[in-house]
Amino acid sequence: MKVANITTPNDWDDIYSIPFKFNQFKKSITCENLLAFDIEVSNGWRQPDGSVIGFDHKLYKTDDSYKKKIDNGEPISLMYVWQIAIEGDDYPLVFMGRTWDEYNTFIHKLTAEIRRQAFYGIKSTVRDIETATALKMKDSVSAEIYIHNAGFEFQHLRNIWEKDFCKKSGQVFARQARKPMKWNVYINRVRLEHRDSLVLTQKSLITWCEDEKLPVQKLQEPKDYYLEIRTPETPLTSEEIQYSINDVVSMLYGLEKYRDKEKYLKDIPLTQTGGVRKKCREKVCLTDMTWSSKCADITNRYTPERFKDLVHLFQGGWTHANRFYVNKTLKNIKCIDFASSYPGVMVSRRFPCTDFKQVDVSDFDILAAQDIHTAEFRWYAQIKVKNITSKLCSTYWSTSKVVVDGNHPLASGIIADNGRIYHADEITIMCTDLDWNTFTQAYTIEDYEVQRLYKSRADYLSPELIKTILEYYAYKTSLKDVSGSESLYTESKQFINSIYGCSVTKIITNLIEFNKDGWTSTEPTDENIIDAVAKYNFENTFIAYQHGVWVTAWARHNLWDFILNMDPHVVYCDTDSIKGMFTDEDVQFINDYNANIEALENSVAATLGIDPNAYAPKTATGKVKRIGIMEWEDECEEFKTLGAKRYVDLVDGKIHCTIAGLPKSAGKNKIKSVDEFTDKLVWNTRESEKLIARYNDNQSPAMWTDRDGNTFYSEDKYGICLQPTTFDLSMGEEFKHFLEMLMNGELDNSDEYFNDTPSILI
- DSSP 8-state symbol, 128: H
Report pLDDT for 128: 59
CA atoms within 13 A on the CB side of 263: 1
The predicted pLDDT at position 130 comes to 60
- Tell me the per-residue pLDDT of 466-493, one tens digit each, with 9 for 90 and over: 999 999 999 999 998 888 887 788 889 9
Contact (Cβ atoms closer than 8 angstroms) between residue 244 and residue 36: no
pTM score of the predicted model: 0.92
Give the E-state strand segments of 117-225 in sequence order.
140-147, 172-174, 180-187, 190-196
Look at residue 747 and tell me whether its pLDDT is greater than 90.
Answer: no
If you average pLDDT over residues 505-534, what whole number do you get?
A: 92
Task: Return d(Cα 296, Cα 290) in angstroms, integer.
Answer: 10
- pLDDT tops 70 at residue 759: no
Torsion angle, alpha carbons of 180, 184, 187, 188, to 10 = 160
Res 313 pLDDT > 50: yes
How far apart are alpha carbons 556 and 345 in whole angstroms?
A: 10
Distance CA 656, CA 642 (A): 14
Average pLDDT, the chain: 93
- Cα distance from N-terminal residue to C-terminal residue, the chain: 58
Where along the chain do its domains lie? 12-40+81-270, 554-599+634-754
Share of the chain above pLDDT 70, in %: 96
Rounded Cα gap, residues 722 and 41, in angstroms: 9
Instruction: For 173-216, write each residue's pLDDT tens digit.
Output: 999 999 999 999 999 999 999 999 999 999 999 999 998 889 99
* Residue 388 near residue 423 (C-beta atoms within 8 A): yes
- pLDDT of 603 over the 80 cut: yes
Contact between 42 and 9 (Cβ < 8 Å): no
Nearby residues of 481 by Cβ (< 8 Å), 6 or more positions away: 620
pLDDT of residue 761: 40
CB of 526 closer than 8 Å to CB of 370: no
* Cβ(418)–Cβ(735) below 8 Å: yes
Q: What pLDDT sits at residue 338?
A: 97
Note whether 454 and 356 are within 8 A (CB).
yes
Q: Is 545 helix (H, G, I), strand (E, B) or coil?
A: helix
* Helix 205-212 / helix 238-262 crossing angle, nearest 10 deg: 60
Helices 289-300 and 526-534 meet at what angle, rounded to 10? 160
The tally of CA atoms less than 13 A away on the side-chain side of residue 130 is 15
The C-alpha atoms of residue 416 and residue 425 are separated, in whole angstroms, by: 12
Q: Which residue has the higher pLDDT, 174 or 747?
A: 174
Centre a 10 Å sphere on the Cβ of residue 742 and count the other Cβ atoms it contains. Answer: 16
Which stretch of DSSP H or E encloses residue 42? strand 35-46
**Least confidently predicted of 20-29, 109-118, 569-578:** 20-29
For residue 745, name the pLDDT band (cuts at 50, 70, 90): confident
pLDDT at 69 > cutoff 80: yes
Mean pLDDT of 313-340: 95
Q: Which tens digit of pLDDT belongs to each residue from 386-402? A: 999 999 999 999 999 99
Nearest to 626 by CA among 338, 411, 392, 433: 338
**Type and span of the H or E element at 95:** strand 92-97
User: Would the pLDDT of 357 be above 90?
Assistant: yes
Burial of 419 (0-12, 13-18, 19+ CB in 10 A): middle
The distance from CA 153 to its chain's CA centroid, rounded to whole angstroms, is 20
pLDDT at 342: 97
pLDDT for 537 equals: 86
Q: Hey, how many other C-beta atoms are within 10 angstroms of the C-beta on 433?
A: 22
pLDDT in tens, 435-444: 999 999 999 9
Q: Are 634 and 335 in contact, with CB atoms under 8 Å apart?
A: yes
Tens digits of per-residue pLDDT, 552-595?
999 999 999 999 999 999 999 999 999 999 999 999 999 999 99
pLDDT of residue 756: 42
Question: Using 50, 70 and 90 to split pLDDT, how confident is the model at 333?
Answer: very high
Q: What pLDDT, on the 0 to 100 scale, is given for residue 758?
A: 41
With cut-offs at 50, 70 and 90, classify the pLDDT of residue 168. confident
Q: Positive or negative CA dihedral for 429, 434, 437, 440?
A: negative
Q: What is the 3-class SS of 276-335, one letter each residue?
A: HHHHHHHHHHCCCHHHHHHHHHHHHCCCHHHHHHHHHHCCCCCEEECHHHECCCEEEEEE
Q: Which of 553, 552, 589 is nearest to 569 (CA)?
A: 589
pLDDT band at 7; cut points 50, 70, 90:
confident
What pLDDT shows up at residue 485? Answer: 84
CA-nearest of 134, 129, 96, 94 to 114 is 134
CATH architecture for the domain at 12-40+81-270: 2-Layer Sandwich (3.30)
Give the mean pLDDT of 442-453.
97
pLDDT value at 753 more than 70: no
- Predicted pLDDT of residue 487: 79
Question: b/e map of 103-115 (b: 16 or more CB within 10 Å)?
Answer: bbebbebbbbbbb
Q: Measuring CA to CA, which residue among 187, 9, 196 is closest to residue 85?
A: 9
> Is residue 127 pLDDT above 90, yes or no?
no
| pLDDT of amino acid 125 | 65
